[in-house]
Amino acid sequence: MVAPSVPLKRAIKPLSIRRHVNRKILRFSLCIGILAAVLAALVYVAAAYPSLHRAQEINLRTLSEIKCTGSTCDTSEFTTDWELGGSDYVVDTRTGYLLNCPVSSEENPTRFEPLDFSDTTFIARFRQPTSYSTPDGEVWRLYSQTATRSGQRLEIIVGYAEKAPWKMIETPRSLIPAVDVGLKHESQQIADIVTAAKGKVLRGGRSIPKLSVDGFEVVDADTGRVVVWGPWLPIFLPKDVALPQRGRQLYIYDGELYIVQTGTNDRLLATSLVPVGGMWWLALIDAAALIGAFLVARALSQRFLRNYFALTGVRVPDLVEACRCGEGQNVEFKRGLSEDEAKTTSVEDELLRSIAAFANTNDGVIFVGVDDSGNIRGLRLDFNQKDRLERKIRQLTRNRIRPIPPIQVAFEEVRGLVVAKIAVARGEAPAYLLNGVIYMRDGSSDIQAQPEHLSRLIAEFAS
């Protein structure tokens, strides 16, 4: 419809629309960047899959080679299987005895901290050097003492293997007194080094000189957490330690990312650590993926998706509501697109005027197939004809309105009658011109903009 020029009732500032669209593009690009970072992290972690599969096989084989009965476990097959390598941690869940754990060294300092606990009541049993038969058949000479570091109470235990599958010769009883002297001397040596370290945390015994004892550890007497760990010796976990669940979990240690693979049977728990890579590398890859994807998504969105994002915020009445309320500031009815060539141009002009007017003023919707009184007349359209009509409307809009306004074409069916629904968003451009003319929406009319309207458009865009 075209009506005489009257004062516009309301208008939406194009600059606010532009900001709204830019915010949507920013959020969309950020989501794409985050998605790319997540995918990059998954690819980074997936590179460890072959090692993870191998760790799972090792855990299963470890569990099958250790046989436990009562309070003892037969590990002879496990300890002599040189090809296996063994799980990093093997725990008898019934007794809490640690059947195996990694040997700490400069080359392999990694530990699984949830299992880095030791039962201090067991350690306190060896204030004098004493021989101890382990649940897996080894015999160790153990000695422990206490120390204090910066107010922290420590338990220090050292051990010498008298009899073990990995020792070819069993220690003669005649050498035990000399072993005891060595245990006490080296236990004191460790105590002196640890207490001198003050607040420093020692890991893997890296600050401990080479000792003749076969194993040692330093434990916080209050929490049971291992403060310094050296080569393995008989260890019982405290009863309240939470064992890892069966399956896989991510684990970070000293800036490195690991996947912890855990297997269980009725009694035993086997855990292996699979290195994935440095967290710094992962952070760098994720940052590069996020920034790169964000910039690409933003550039493409600015180029191709601006009209789409302008339309996503459009709120217009549906067909039933529009017919009940009638034409107005954001609703326009069109009977149809005439098949009479003599009338086609004028009908198309009316439709394009309404599209341009809404794009210049406020969000609106045009229902094609409804007369001016709000009666649904419908369009005779099959599936292919709907597609042709949509292409025609879009082509007319692209060819005759500059710049191209944001529109969306859909179809509704009521009581078997088809109606075309053209949603138009208030655009972000200062003005949309149809054949060089600016049209505005005023009530239910599409009017040609007057000089005062143009001044207002310019002022709104600049504000």
115-150 tens-digit pLDDT = 999 999 999 999 999 999 999 889 999 999 999 988
List the end-to-end C-alpha distance of the chain, in Å, as a whole number.
31
Cβ atoms of 218 and 155 within 8 Å: the answer is yes
Tell me whether residue 459 is exposed, middle or buried, using C-beta atoms within 10 angstroms of its C-beta: 0 to 12, 13 to 18, 19 or more.
exposed
**Max CA-CA distance within the chain?**
122
Cβ atoms of 225 and 116 within 8 Å: the answer is yes
| pLDDT at residue number 271 | 95
- Sorted by sequence, the CB contacts under 8 Å of residue 348 that are 6+ apart come out as 337, 396
Q: What is the DSSP letter of 225?
A: B
Q: Which of 3-12, 27-36, 399-408, 454-463 has the lowest mean pLDDT?
A: 3-12
Q: What is the DSSP letter of 247?
A: E
**By C-alpha distance, which of 457, 397, 404 is closest to 430?**
457
Cβ atoms of 211 and 189 within 8 Å: the answer is yes
The two structure tokens encoding residue 348: 């198309």
Distance CA 463, CA 453 (A): 15
Confidence of residue 453 (pLDDT cuts 50, 70, 90): confident
Residue whose structure tokens are 């606010």: 16
Distance CA 24, CA 309 (A): 7
* CA angle centred on 287, ends 286 and 291, rounded to 5°: 120
Cα 225 from chain centre = 31
- Whether residue 454 has pLDDT greater than 60: yes
Compute the mean pLDDT over every residue in the chain, rounded to the nearest whole number. Answer: 87
pTM above 0.85, yes or no: no
Residue whose structure tokens are 């409804």: 370
Confidence of residue 13 (pLDDT cuts 50, 70, 90): low
Distance CA 280, CA 284 (A): 6
C-alpha distances in Å from residue 367, one per residue of 307, 335, 422: 20, 8, 6
- What is the mean predicted confidence (pLDDT) over 200-206? 51
Per residue in 36-56, pLDDT (tens digit) is 999 999 999 899 999 999 999
- Give all domains of the chain, ordered by start, each with its CATH number: 75-275 (no CATH), 316-462 (3.30.950.30)
Helix axes 14-46, 279-304, angle to 10 degrees: 140
Distance CA 303, CA 50 (A): 42
Cβ atoms of 432 and 445 within 8 Å: the answer is no
- Sorted by sequence, the CB contacts under 8 Å of residue 151 that are 6+ apart come out as none
Residue whose structure tokens are 């690009």: 29
Per residue in 264-288, pLDDT (tens digit) is 998 999 999 999 999 999 999 999 9
C-alpha distances in Å from residue 231, one per residue of 162, 272, 368: 15, 18, 83
Strand partners, 74: 67
Distance CA 461, CA 463 (A): 6
* CA angle centred on 213, ends 209 and 214, rounded to 5°: 110
Sign of CA dihedral 308, 312, 314, 320: positive
Count the neighbouring beta carbons within 10 Å of the beta carbon of residue 396.
Answer: 16
Per residue in 314-367, pLDDT (tens digit) is 787 888 889 988 999 999 999 887 654 445 678 889 999 999 999 998 899 999
- Whether residue 106 has pLDDT greater than 70: no
* CA angle centred on 119, ends 113 and 123, rounded to 5°: 120
Sheet (strand 256-264) strand order: 97-100, 89-92, 268-278, 256-264, 247-253
In single-letter form, the type of residue at position 11 comes to A
The two structure tokens encoding residue 359: 């794009």
Cα 45 from chain centre = 13
Q: Which of 1-10, 166-175, 214-223, 248-257 has the lowest mean pLDDT?
A: 1-10
Confidence of residue 380 (pLDDT cuts 50, 70, 90): confident
User: Residue 74: phi, psi to the nearest 5?
Assistant: -90, 110
Half-sphere exposure of 163 (CA within 13 A, CB side): 13
Cβ atoms of 360 and 432 within 8 Å: the answer is yes
Alpha helices (H) in 305-424, listed in sequence order: 306-312, 319-325, 341-361, 383-400
